[in-house]
Chain A
Protein backbone atom coordinates (compact mmCIF):
# COMPACT_ATOMS: atom_id res chain seq x y z
CA UNK A 1 0.00 0.00 0.00
CA UNK A 2 2.33 2.72 -1.17
CA UNK A 3 -0.49 5.30 -1.10
CA UNK A 4 -0.19 5.28 2.71
CA UNK A 5 3.20 6.94 2.40
CA UNK A 6 1.42 10.19 1.63
CA UNK A 7 0.33 12.23 4.62
CA UNK A 8 -2.82 13.41 2.84
CA UNK A 9 -3.85 9.78 2.36
CA UNK A 10 -3.23 8.86 5.99
CA UNK A 11 -5.18 11.95 7.06
CA UNK A 12 -7.98 11.06 4.67
CA UNK A 13 -8.30 7.56 6.15
CA UNK A 14 -8.24 8.94 9.70
CA UNK A 15 -10.87 11.51 8.76
CA UNK A 16 -13.00 8.73 7.28
CA UNK A 17 -12.64 6.70 10.46
CA UNK A 18 -13.54 9.62 12.76
CA UNK A 19 -16.50 10.48 10.55
CA UNK A 20 -17.70 6.86 10.50
CA UNK A 21 -17.71 6.68 14.32
CA UNK A 22 -19.80 9.85 14.66
CA UNK A 23 -22.26 9.14 11.88
CA UNK A 24 -22.53 5.48 12.89
CA UNK A 25 -23.65 6.30 16.42
CA UNK A 26 -25.70 9.41 15.79
CA UNK A 27 -27.14 8.16 12.50
CA UNK A 28 -28.90 5.40 14.44
CA UNK A 29 -30.81 8.03 16.46
CA UNK A 30 -31.56 10.00 13.30
CA UNK A 31 -32.99 6.82 11.77
CA UNK A 32 -35.04 5.49 14.70
CA UNK A 33 -36.31 8.92 15.79
CA UNK A 34 -37.09 9.78 12.14
CA UNK A 35 -35.42 13.19 12.27
CA UNK A 36 -33.66 13.09 8.91
CA UNK A 37 -35.22 16.32 7.70
CA UNK A 38 -34.30 18.35 10.80
CA UNK A 39 -30.74 16.97 10.52
CA UNK A 40 -30.61 18.11 6.91
CA UNK A 41 -31.82 21.52 8.03
CA UNK A 42 -29.08 21.81 10.66
CA UNK A 43 -26.46 20.74 8.11
CA UNK A 44 -27.49 23.30 5.52
CA UNK A 45 -27.98 26.11 8.03
CA UNK A 46 -24.36 25.57 9.14
CA UNK A 47 -23.32 27.04 5.78
CA UNK A 48 -24.03 30.42 7.35
CA UNK A 49 -21.21 29.67 9.77
CA UNK A 50 -18.83 28.78 6.96
CA UNK A 51 -19.54 32.19 5.44
CA UNK A 52 -19.12 33.89 8.82
CA UNK A 53 -15.78 32.16 9.25
CA UNK A 54 -14.51 33.56 5.96
CA UNK A 55 -15.92 36.98 6.73
CA UNK A 56 -14.35 37.43 10.19
CA UNK A 57 -11.23 35.48 9.27
CA UNK A 58 -11.51 32.43 11.56
CA UNK A 59 -11.49 28.74 10.61
CA UNK A 60 -14.80 28.26 8.75
CA UNK A 61 -15.26 24.95 10.61
CA UNK A 62 -15.54 26.87 13.89
CA UNK A 63 -18.14 29.12 12.30
CA UNK A 64 -19.99 26.00 11.14
CA UNK A 65 -19.89 24.58 14.68
CA UNK A 66 -21.44 27.78 16.01
CA UNK A 67 -24.18 27.87 13.38
CA UNK A 68 -24.94 24.14 13.57
CA UNK A 69 -25.41 24.31 17.35
CA UNK A 70 -27.44 27.52 17.15
CA UNK A 71 -29.73 26.17 14.43
CA UNK A 72 -30.13 22.84 16.28
CA UNK A 73 -31.23 24.60 19.45
CA UNK A 74 -33.30 27.11 17.46
CA UNK A 75 -35.16 24.49 15.42
CA UNK A 76 -35.66 22.25 18.44
CA UNK A 77 -36.95 25.07 20.58
CA UNK A 78 -39.29 26.56 17.96
CA UNK A 79 -40.74 23.20 16.91
CA UNK A 80 -41.39 22.21 20.54
CA UNK A 81 -42.59 25.51 21.93
CA UNK A 82 -44.75 26.92 19.16
CA UNK A 83 -47.59 25.54 17.10
CA UNK A 84 -45.80 26.20 13.81
CA UNK A 85 -45.60 23.08 11.66
CA UNK A 86 -42.23 21.40 12.19
CA UNK A 87 -41.33 21.03 8.51
CA UNK A 88 -42.12 24.70 7.87
CA UNK A 89 -39.75 25.81 10.64
CA UNK A 90 -37.02 23.49 9.38
CA UNK A 91 -37.43 24.68 5.80
CA UNK A 92 -37.21 28.35 6.82
CA UNK A 93 -34.11 28.01 9.01
CA UNK A 94 -32.47 25.73 6.44
CA UNK A 95 -32.76 28.39 3.72
CA UNK A 96 -31.98 31.33 6.05
CA UNK A 97 -28.73 29.72 7.17
CA UNK A 98 -27.62 29.19 3.59
CA UNK A 99 -28.68 32.72 2.63
CA UNK A 100 -26.58 34.15 5.47
CA UNK A 101 -23.62 32.14 4.20
CA UNK A 102 -24.00 33.58 0.71
CA UNK A 103 -24.25 37.14 2.12
CA UNK A 104 -21.16 36.71 4.34
CA UNK A 105 -19.13 35.27 1.46
CA UNK A 106 -20.26 38.12 -0.79
CA UNK A 107 -19.09 40.62 1.84
CA UNK A 108 -15.71 38.91 2.20
CA UNK A 109 -13.16 40.81 0.14
CA UNK A 110 -11.06 38.90 -2.37
CA UNK A 111 -11.01 35.23 -3.28
CA UNK A 112 -12.69 32.64 -1.01
CA UNK A 113 -10.54 29.50 -0.99
CA UNK A 114 -11.88 25.94 -0.46
CA UNK A 115 -15.53 26.98 -0.66
CA UNK A 116 -16.35 24.03 -2.88
CA UNK A 117 -14.80 21.57 -0.42
CA UNK A 118 -17.12 22.75 2.38
CA UNK A 119 -20.13 22.27 0.16
CA UNK A 120 -19.20 18.91 -1.35
CA UNK A 121 -16.40 17.70 0.88
CA UNK A 122 -12.81 16.91 0.15
CA UNK A 123 -11.45 14.19 2.37
CA UNK A 124 -8.02 14.49 0.71
CA UNK A 125 -7.39 18.01 2.03
CA UNK A 126 -8.16 17.52 5.72
CA UNK A 127 -5.32 19.12 7.70
CA UNK A 128 -3.99 17.52 10.91
CA UNK A 129 -5.43 20.32 13.06
CA UNK A 130 -8.92 19.49 11.82
CA UNK A 131 -8.32 15.82 12.61
CA UNK A 132 -7.65 16.70 16.25
CA UNK A 133 -10.79 18.83 16.27
CA UNK A 134 -12.79 15.91 14.82
CA UNK A 135 -11.34 13.55 17.42
CA UNK A 136 -12.40 15.86 20.27
CA UNK A 137 -15.93 16.09 18.87
CA UNK A 138 -16.06 12.29 18.55
CA UNK A 139 -15.07 11.91 22.21
CA UNK A 140 -17.74 14.41 23.28
CA UNK A 141 -20.39 12.62 21.22
CA UNK A 142 -19.50 9.19 22.62
CA UNK A 143 -19.46 10.52 26.20
CA UNK A 144 -22.90 12.12 25.83
CA UNK A 145 -24.41 9.03 24.22
CA UNK A 146 -23.06 6.72 26.95
CA UNK A 147 -24.20 9.08 29.70
CA UNK A 148 -27.69 9.67 28.30
CA UNK A 149 -28.21 6.28 26.67
CA UNK A 150 -31.38 5.49 28.62
CA UNK A 151 -32.79 8.98 28.18
CA UNK A 152 -32.19 8.95 24.42
CA UNK A 153 -33.85 5.53 24.23
CA UNK A 154 -36.95 6.82 26.02
CA UNK A 155 -36.92 9.93 23.83
CA UNK A 156 -36.74 7.88 20.65
CA UNK A 157 -39.13 5.10 21.58
CA UNK A 158 -41.94 6.75 23.51
CA UNK A 159 -41.76 10.43 24.44
CA UNK A 160 -45.04 10.46 26.28
CA UNK A 161 -44.21 7.53 28.53
CA UNK A 162 -40.78 9.08 29.10
CA UNK A 163 -42.44 12.26 30.34
CA UNK A 164 -44.70 10.25 32.63
CA UNK A 165 -41.73 8.50 34.27
CA UNK A 166 -39.93 11.80 34.70
CA UNK A 167 -37.47 11.87 31.78
CA UNK A 168 -36.85 15.52 30.72
CA UNK A 169 -37.87 14.83 27.14
CA UNK A 170 -37.66 18.38 25.72
CA UNK A 171 -34.19 19.01 27.17
CA UNK A 172 -32.97 15.64 25.85
CA UNK A 173 -34.36 16.44 22.42
CA UNK A 174 -32.32 19.65 22.32
CA UNK A 175 -29.28 17.69 23.50
CA UNK A 176 -29.76 15.07 20.78
CA UNK A 177 -30.07 17.79 18.12
CA UNK A 178 -26.87 19.35 19.47
CA UNK A 179 -25.11 15.99 19.18
CA UNK A 180 -26.35 15.82 15.59
CA UNK A 181 -24.91 19.32 15.06
CA UNK A 182 -21.49 18.13 16.32
CA UNK A 183 -21.68 15.14 13.98
CA UNK A 184 -22.49 17.39 11.07
CA UNK A 185 -19.41 19.50 11.79
CA UNK A 186 -17.29 16.33 11.69
CA UNK A 187 -18.86 15.23 8.41
CA UNK A 188 -18.51 18.59 6.62
CA UNK A 189 -14.83 17.90 5.93
CA UNK A 190 -15.54 14.45 4.53
CA UNK A 191 -18.60 14.78 2.31
CA UNK A 192 -19.60 18.44 2.54
CA UNK A 193 -22.74 20.20 3.72
CA UNK A 194 -24.89 19.21 0.76
CA UNK A 195 -24.14 15.48 1.01
CA UNK A 196 -24.05 15.02 4.80
CA UNK A 197 -27.55 13.70 5.09
CA UNK A 198 -26.59 10.58 3.14
CA UNK A 199 -23.79 9.63 5.55
CA UNK A 200 -26.12 10.26 8.50
CA UNK A 201 -28.73 7.88 7.14
CA UNK A 202 -27.17 5.19 4.92
CA UNK A 203 -24.90 3.36 7.45
CA UNK A 204 -27.76 3.26 9.98
CA UNK A 205 -30.22 2.06 7.36
CA UNK A 206 -27.75 -0.71 6.41
CA UNK A 207 -27.27 -1.74 10.03
CA UNK A 208 -30.99 -1.78 10.67
CA UNK A 209 -31.41 -4.65 8.25
CA UNK A 210 -29.26 -6.91 10.38
CA UNK A 211 -30.21 -6.30 13.99
CA UNK A 212 -32.98 -5.27 16.38
CA UNK A 213 -30.57 -4.20 19.11
CA UNK A 214 -29.80 -0.50 19.18
CA UNK A 215 -26.23 -0.90 20.53
CA UNK A 216 -25.37 -3.58 17.97
CA UNK A 217 -26.94 -1.35 15.37
CA UNK A 218 -24.52 1.44 16.32
CA UNK A 219 -21.45 -0.79 16.06
CA UNK A 220 -22.59 -2.24 12.74
CA UNK A 221 -23.39 1.23 11.49
CA UNK A 222 -19.86 2.43 12.38
CA UNK A 223 -18.49 -0.58 10.51
CA UNK A 224 -20.56 0.22 7.42
CA UNK A 225 -19.49 3.86 7.70
CA UNK A 226 -15.84 2.78 7.59
CA UNK A 227 -16.46 0.47 4.63
CA UNK A 228 -18.28 3.25 2.77
CA UNK A 229 -15.76 6.03 3.39
CA UNK A 230 -12.73 3.83 2.71
CA UNK A 231 -14.36 2.12 -0.27
CA UNK A 232 -15.58 5.41 -1.71
CA UNK A 233 -12.20 7.02 -1.15
CA UNK A 234 -10.44 4.15 -2.92
CA UNK A 235 -12.90 4.28 -5.83
CA UNK A 236 -12.49 8.04 -6.17
CA UNK A 237 -8.69 7.52 -6.20
CA UNK A 238 -8.84 4.79 -8.85
CA UNK A 239 -11.45 6.46 -11.04
CA UNK A 240 -10.20 10.01 -10.42
CA UNK A 241 -13.58 11.30 -9.23
CA UNK A 242 -14.62 13.76 -6.48
CA UNK A 243 -14.18 11.93 -3.16
CA UNK A 244 -17.29 13.14 -1.28
CA UNK A 245 -19.67 12.40 -4.13
CA UNK A 246 -18.06 9.00 -4.79
CA UNK A 247 -18.41 8.02 -1.11
CA UNK A 248 -22.11 8.92 -1.18
CA UNK A 249 -22.85 7.17 -4.48
CA UNK A 250 -20.95 4.07 -3.38
CA UNK A 251 -22.87 3.94 -0.06
CA UNK A 252 -26.20 4.51 -1.77
CA UNK A 253 -25.61 1.82 -4.37
CA UNK A 254 -24.55 -0.74 -1.74
CA UNK A 255 -27.64 0.08 0.35
CA UNK A 256 -30.00 -0.25 -2.59
CA UNK A 257 -28.31 -3.49 -3.60
CA UNK A 258 -28.81 -5.01 -0.13
CA UNK A 259 -32.45 -3.90 -0.18
CA UNK A 260 -32.77 -5.68 -3.50
CA UNK A 261 -31.06 -8.86 -2.26
CA UNK A 262 -33.20 -8.90 0.89
CA UNK A 263 -36.29 -8.52 -1.20
CA UNK A 264 -35.31 -11.43 -3.38
CA UNK A 265 -34.62 -13.55 -0.32
CA UNK A 266 -37.99 -12.35 0.98
CA UNK A 267 -36.93 -12.11 4.59
CA UNK A 268 -34.27 -9.95 6.21
CA UNK A 269 -31.72 -11.61 8.45
CA UNK A 270 -31.88 -10.25 11.98
CA UNK A 271 -30.13 -11.27 15.16
Chain B
Protein backbone atom coordinates (compact mmCIF):
# COMPACT_ATOMS: atom_id res chain seq x y z
CA UNK B 1 0.00 0.00 0.00
CA UNK B 2 1.49 3.38 -0.96
CA UNK B 3 1.82 5.65 2.02
CA UNK B 4 -0.13 8.68 0.94
CA UNK B 5 0.95 11.79 2.79
CA UNK B 6 -2.00 13.44 4.52
CA UNK B 7 -0.22 16.27 6.32
CA UNK B 8 3.12 17.83 5.53
CA UNK B 9 4.63 20.49 7.78
CA UNK B 10 8.07 21.87 6.92
CA UNK B 11 10.22 24.35 8.84
CA UNK B 12 7.14 25.92 10.31
CA UNK B 13 7.22 28.89 12.69
CA UNK B 14 4.10 30.29 14.32
CA UNK B 15 3.86 33.24 16.71
CA UNK B 16 1.30 34.36 19.21
CA UNK B 17 1.49 38.02 20.26
CA UNK B 18 5.07 38.22 19.04
CA UNK B 19 6.14 35.13 21.01
CA UNK B 20 7.15 32.02 19.08
CA UNK B 21 4.76 29.15 19.82
CA UNK B 22 6.05 26.74 17.21
CA UNK B 23 9.72 26.75 16.27
CA UNK B 24 10.94 25.07 13.12
CA UNK B 25 8.42 22.25 13.26
CA UNK B 26 8.63 19.39 10.77
CA UNK B 27 5.99 16.71 10.60
CA UNK B 28 4.68 14.19 8.14
CA UNK B 29 1.49 12.23 8.71
CA UNK B 30 0.64 9.25 6.53
CA UNK B 31 -2.72 7.86 5.59
CA UNK B 32 -3.42 5.46 8.43
CA UNK B 33 -1.20 7.02 11.05
CA UNK B 34 -2.43 7.39 14.59
CA UNK B 35 -0.18 10.06 16.06
CA UNK B 36 -0.19 11.17 19.66
CA UNK B 37 1.33 14.57 20.41
CA UNK B 38 2.22 15.24 24.01
CA UNK B 39 3.65 18.29 25.66
CA UNK B 40 3.04 20.72 28.48
CA UNK B 41 0.20 23.23 28.49
CA UNK B 42 1.20 26.25 26.44
CA UNK B 43 3.61 24.11 24.45
CA UNK B 44 1.83 24.82 21.16
CA UNK B 45 -0.26 21.66 20.77
CA UNK B 46 -3.52 23.44 20.05
CA UNK B 47 -1.68 25.92 17.82
CA UNK B 48 -0.25 23.03 15.80
CA UNK B 49 -3.78 21.67 15.25
CA UNK B 50 -5.00 25.14 14.28
CA UNK B 51 -2.15 25.55 11.81
CA UNK B 52 -3.15 22.25 10.20
CA UNK B 53 -6.76 23.52 10.08
CA UNK B 54 -5.65 26.85 8.63
CA UNK B 55 -7.13 28.78 11.58
CA UNK B 56 -3.70 30.06 12.55
CA UNK B 57 -1.41 31.42 9.86
CA UNK B 58 2.24 30.39 10.22
CA UNK B 59 4.83 33.11 9.98
CA UNK B 60 7.27 30.95 8.06
CA UNK B 61 7.33 27.47 6.62
CA UNK B 62 5.02 25.20 4.70
CA UNK B 63 1.89 23.37 5.74
CA UNK B 64 -0.12 21.30 3.34
CA UNK B 65 -3.02 18.94 3.87
CA UNK B 66 -3.75 16.35 1.19
CA UNK B 67 -1.38 18.24 -1.09
CA UNK B 68 -3.34 21.46 -0.86
CA UNK B 69 -3.56 24.45 1.47
CA UNK B 70 -5.32 23.77 4.81
CA UNK B 71 -8.27 26.02 3.85
CA UNK B 72 -8.86 24.06 0.63
CA UNK B 73 -8.67 20.72 2.41
CA UNK B 74 -10.74 21.70 5.44
CA UNK B 75 -13.75 19.73 4.25
CA UNK B 76 -11.58 16.60 4.55
CA UNK B 77 -10.55 17.37 8.13
CA UNK B 78 -12.65 16.38 11.12
CA UNK B 79 -11.96 18.56 14.14
CA UNK B 80 -12.81 17.73 17.74
CA UNK B 81 -12.12 20.79 19.90
CA UNK B 82 -11.66 20.73 23.67
CA UNK B 83 -14.97 19.77 25.20
CA UNK B 84 -14.83 22.25 28.05
CA UNK B 85 -14.99 25.25 25.72
CA UNK B 86 -18.72 25.29 25.00
CA UNK B 87 -21.73 26.66 26.85
CA UNK B 88 -23.38 23.75 28.65
CA UNK B 89 -26.66 25.58 28.89
CA UNK B 90 -26.95 26.07 25.14
CA UNK B 91 -30.40 25.04 23.88
CA UNK B 92 -29.42 22.39 21.36
CA UNK B 93 -29.78 18.61 21.24
CA UNK B 94 -27.24 16.01 20.21
CA UNK B 95 -28.81 15.43 16.79
CA UNK B 96 -28.53 19.10 15.78
CA UNK B 97 -24.93 19.25 17.02
CA UNK B 98 -23.98 16.26 14.88
CA UNK B 99 -25.77 17.67 11.81
CA UNK B 100 -23.54 20.76 12.10
CA UNK B 101 -20.81 18.55 10.70
CA UNK B 102 -22.59 18.59 7.28
CA UNK B 103 -22.52 22.37 6.90
CA UNK B 104 -19.46 22.17 4.70
CA UNK B 105 -21.26 19.93 2.20
CA UNK B 106 -24.63 21.64 2.00
CA UNK B 107 -23.50 25.26 2.14
CA UNK B 108 -24.80 28.18 4.13
CA UNK B 109 -28.33 28.31 2.75
CA UNK B 110 -28.81 24.65 1.86
CA UNK B 111 -31.18 22.23 3.56
CA UNK B 112 -30.27 18.82 4.97
CA UNK B 113 -30.71 15.98 2.50
CA UNK B 114 -31.54 12.44 3.44
CA UNK B 115 -27.89 11.42 2.93
CA UNK B 116 -26.80 14.04 5.47
CA UNK B 117 -29.21 12.58 8.00
CA UNK B 118 -27.99 9.07 7.19
CA UNK B 119 -24.40 10.23 7.65
CA UNK B 120 -25.30 11.78 11.01
CA UNK B 121 -27.06 8.61 12.08
CA UNK B 122 -24.11 6.47 11.03
CA UNK B 123 -21.62 8.76 12.78
CA UNK B 124 -23.60 8.52 16.02
CA UNK B 125 -23.74 4.73 15.66
CA UNK B 126 -19.97 4.62 15.15
CA UNK B 127 -19.37 6.33 18.49
CA UNK B 128 -22.16 4.38 20.20
CA UNK B 129 -24.22 7.49 20.85
CA UNK B 130 -27.40 6.99 18.84
CA UNK B 131 -29.56 6.72 21.94
CA UNK B 132 -28.34 10.18 23.03
CA UNK B 133 -29.85 11.75 19.90
CA UNK B 134 -32.62 13.78 21.55
CA UNK B 135 -30.77 14.77 24.72
CA UNK B 136 -29.65 18.32 25.37
CA UNK B 137 -25.87 18.43 24.87
CA UNK B 138 -25.09 20.01 28.25
CA UNK B 139 -26.92 17.24 30.11
CA UNK B 140 -24.48 14.55 28.95
CA UNK B 141 -21.42 13.35 30.82
CA UNK B 142 -18.00 14.52 29.64
CA UNK B 143 -17.36 11.21 27.90
CA UNK B 144 -20.71 11.28 26.11
CA UNK B 145 -20.13 14.85 24.96
CA UNK B 146 -16.75 13.82 23.64
CA UNK B 147 -18.32 11.04 21.60
CA UNK B 148 -20.92 13.43 20.20
CA UNK B 149 -18.20 15.85 19.08
CA UNK B 150 -16.34 13.00 17.42
CA UNK B 151 -19.56 12.05 15.62
CA UNK B 152 -19.93 15.66 14.46
CA UNK B 153 -16.40 15.53 13.06
CA UNK B 154 -17.09 12.19 11.33
CA UNK B 155 -20.24 13.26 9.49
CA UNK B 156 -18.32 14.84 6.63
CA UNK B 157 -16.27 11.61 6.18
CA UNK B 158 -12.87 13.16 6.86
CA UNK B 159 -9.48 11.80 5.81
CA UNK B 160 -7.88 13.34 8.87
CA UNK B 161 -9.24 13.53 12.41
CA UNK B 162 -7.76 16.05 14.85
CA UNK B 163 -8.56 15.72 18.56
CA UNK B 164 -7.62 18.35 21.13
CA UNK B 165 -7.25 17.01 24.70
CA UNK B 166 -9.98 14.42 24.08
CA UNK B 167 -9.52 12.54 27.33
CA UNK B 168 -9.51 15.56 29.63
CA UNK B 169 -13.17 15.15 30.55
CA UNK B 170 -13.47 11.40 30.05
CA UNK B 171 -13.30 9.50 33.31
CA UNK B 172 -10.54 6.87 33.38
CA UNK B 173 -12.91 3.92 33.32
CA UNK B 174 -14.30 5.05 29.98
CA UNK B 175 -10.96 5.78 28.33
CA UNK B 176 -10.46 2.28 26.99
CA UNK B 177 -13.84 2.43 25.30
CA UNK B 178 -12.90 5.82 23.90
CA UNK B 179 -9.65 4.52 22.42
CA UNK B 180 -11.43 1.54 20.93
CA UNK B 181 -13.63 3.92 18.97
CA UNK B 182 -10.50 5.60 17.60
CA UNK B 183 -8.91 2.22 16.91
CA UNK B 184 -11.90 1.39 14.72
CA UNK B 185 -11.59 4.69 12.84
CA UNK B 186 -7.90 4.27 12.18
CA UNK B 187 -8.51 2.14 9.11
CA UNK B 188 -10.43 4.93 7.40
CA UNK B 189 -8.42 8.02 8.31
CA UNK B 190 -5.30 9.47 9.85
CA UNK B 191 -5.75 10.52 13.47
CA UNK B 192 -3.83 13.13 15.45
CA UNK B 193 -4.49 13.36 19.14
CA UNK B 194 -2.89 15.99 21.37
CA UNK B 195 -2.75 15.88 25.14
CA UNK B 196 -0.74 17.33 28.00
CA UNK B 197 -1.22 14.09 29.88
CA UNK B 198 1.33 11.41 29.03
CA UNK B 199 -0.78 8.65 30.49
CA UNK B 200 -3.66 9.68 28.21
CA UNK B 201 -1.64 8.61 25.20
CA UNK B 202 -2.28 4.93 25.50
CA UNK B 203 -0.96 1.87 23.81
CA UNK B 204 -3.36 2.51 20.97
CA UNK B 205 -1.36 5.26 19.27
CA UNK B 206 1.20 4.19 16.69
CA UNK B 207 3.52 7.15 16.83
CA UNK B 208 4.32 9.73 19.42
CA UNK B 209 5.71 13.23 19.08
CA UNK B 210 6.67 15.57 21.90
CA UNK B 211 5.92 19.25 21.49
CA UNK B 212 7.15 22.17 23.50
CA UNK B 213 7.56 24.84 20.85
CA UNK B 214 9.94 22.42 19.14
CA UNK B 215 8.69 19.08 17.94
CA UNK B 216 10.56 15.89 18.74
CA UNK B 217 9.39 13.20 16.43
CA UNK B 218 11.01 10.00 15.37
CA UNK B 219 8.19 8.17 13.71
CA UNK B 220 7.80 5.60 16.44
CA UNK B 221 6.50 5.40 19.94
CA UNK B 222 9.81 4.79 21.62
CA UNK B 223 10.71 7.96 23.43
CA UNK B 224 13.68 8.23 25.72
CA UNK B 225 13.51 10.11 29.00
CA UNK B 226 15.94 12.73 27.67
CA UNK B 227 13.40 13.79 24.99
CA UNK B 228 10.63 13.97 27.54
CA UNK B 229 12.85 16.06 29.77
CA UNK B 230 13.69 18.36 26.89
CA UNK B 231 10.01 18.69 26.07
CA UNK B 232 8.71 19.35 29.53
CA UNK B 233 11.78 21.28 30.71
CA UNK B 234 11.37 19.81 34.16
CA UNK B 235 11.89 16.47 35.85
CA UNK B 236 9.66 14.00 34.09
CA UNK B 237 8.69 12.26 37.31
CA UNK B 238 6.64 15.31 38.21
CA UNK B 239 4.23 14.44 35.45
CA UNK B 240 4.09 10.71 35.62
CA UNK B 241 4.00 10.39 39.39
CA UNK B 242 7.15 8.49 40.09
CA UNK B 243 7.49 5.72 37.55
CA UNK B 244 9.57 6.31 34.47
CA UNK B 245 7.06 7.40 31.84
CA UNK B 246 8.66 5.80 28.78
CA UNK B 247 8.07 2.43 30.38
CA UNK B 248 4.35 3.10 30.16
CA UNK B 249 4.79 3.70 26.45
CA UNK B 250 7.02 0.71 25.76
CA UNK B 251 4.81 -1.78 27.52
CA UNK B 252 2.71 -3.28 24.79
Chain A positions near chain B (C-beta within 8 angstroms): 32, 34, 147-148, 150-151, 153-154, 156-158, 160-168, 208, 211-214, 217, 270
**Bound state CA distance, A139 and B102, in angstroms?**
29
Interface check B202, CB cutoff 8 A: no
Per-position binary interface string of chain B over residues 101-119, scored 1 when its CB falls under 8 Å from any chain A CB and 0 otherwise: 1111000110000000000
Chain A binding surface, main DSSP class: helix
Contacts A157-B100, A164-B74, A167-B103 given: A212-B93 contact, CB under 8 Å?
yes
What's the least CB distance linking A130 to chain B, in Å? 32
Q: List 16 A-B contacts (CB under 8 A).
A: A32-B91, A147-B109, A148-B108, A153-B96, A154-B103, A157-B92, A157-B100, A158-B100, A160-B55, A160-B79, A160-B81, A164-B53, A165-B103, A166-B74, A166-B104, A167-B103
Report B-chain residues with C-beta under 8 Å of the C-beta of A168: 108
A167 contact set on B, CB distance < 8 A = 103, 108
Chain A residues with Cβ below 8 Å from B175 are none
Q: Once the chains bind, are B91 and A166 in contact (CB under 8 Å)?
A: no
Q: With contacts A164-B79, A165-B101 known, what are 6 further pairs, Cβ within 8 A? A: A154-B100, A157-B100, A158-B86, A164-B74, A164-B77, A165-B156
Query: Complex Cα distance A160/B77, Å?
Result: 13
Q: Which residues of A contact B89 (CB under 8 A)?
A: 208
Judge whether B92 and A214 touch: CB under 8 Å.
yes
B53 touches A32 (CB 8 A): no
Give the chain B neighbours of A212 by CB distance below 8 A: 91-93, 136
Name B101's closest neighbour in chain A (CB-CB). Answer: A165
Is B152 positioned at the interface, with any CB of A under 8 Å from its CB?
yes
Tell me the bound Cα distance from A213 to B94 in angstroms: 11
Within 8 A of A (CB), among B191-205: none
> What residues make up the interface of B, taking CB atoms closer than 8 Å to A?
53, 55, 74-75, 77, 79, 81, 86-87, 89-93, 96-97, 100-104, 108-109, 136, 152, 156
A69 CA to B96 CA in the complex, in Å? 31
Cross-chain contact B93 with A213 (CB below 8 angstroms): yes
- What is the CB-to-nearest-CB distance from A208 to chain B, in angstroms, rounded to a whole number? 7
B75 touches A208 (CB 8 A): no
Residue of B nearest to A168 (CB): B108
* Assembled-state Cα–Cα distance A156/B96 (Å): 13
Chain A residue nearest to B97 (CB atoms) is A157
Query: B80 CB to closest chain A CB, in angstroms?
Result: 9
Contact across chains for A166 and B90 when beta carbons are under 8 A apart: no
- Considering the complex, give the chain A residue whose CB is closest to the CB of B82: A160
Whole-angstrom CA separation of A167 from B100 in the bound complex? 10
Check A214/B74 contact, CB under 8 A, given A150-B108, A160-B81, A161-B79: no
Do B91 and A217 have beta carbons less than 8 Å apart?
yes
Least CB separation from B80: chain A residue: A161
List chain B residues, Cβ under 8 A from A165.
74-75, 100-104, 156
Question: What's the least CB distance linking A270 to chain B, in Å?
Answer: 8
Q: What's the nearest-Cβ distance from chain B to residue A28, in Å?
A: 8
Contact B100 A153 (CB under 8 A): yes
Query: With A160-B81, A162-B103 in contact, do A32 and B75 touch (Cβ < 8 Å)?
Result: no
**CA distance in complex: A32, B96 (Å):** 15
A217: chain B residues within 8 A (beta carbon): 91
B contact residues around A157 at 8 Å (CB):
86-87, 90, 92, 97, 100
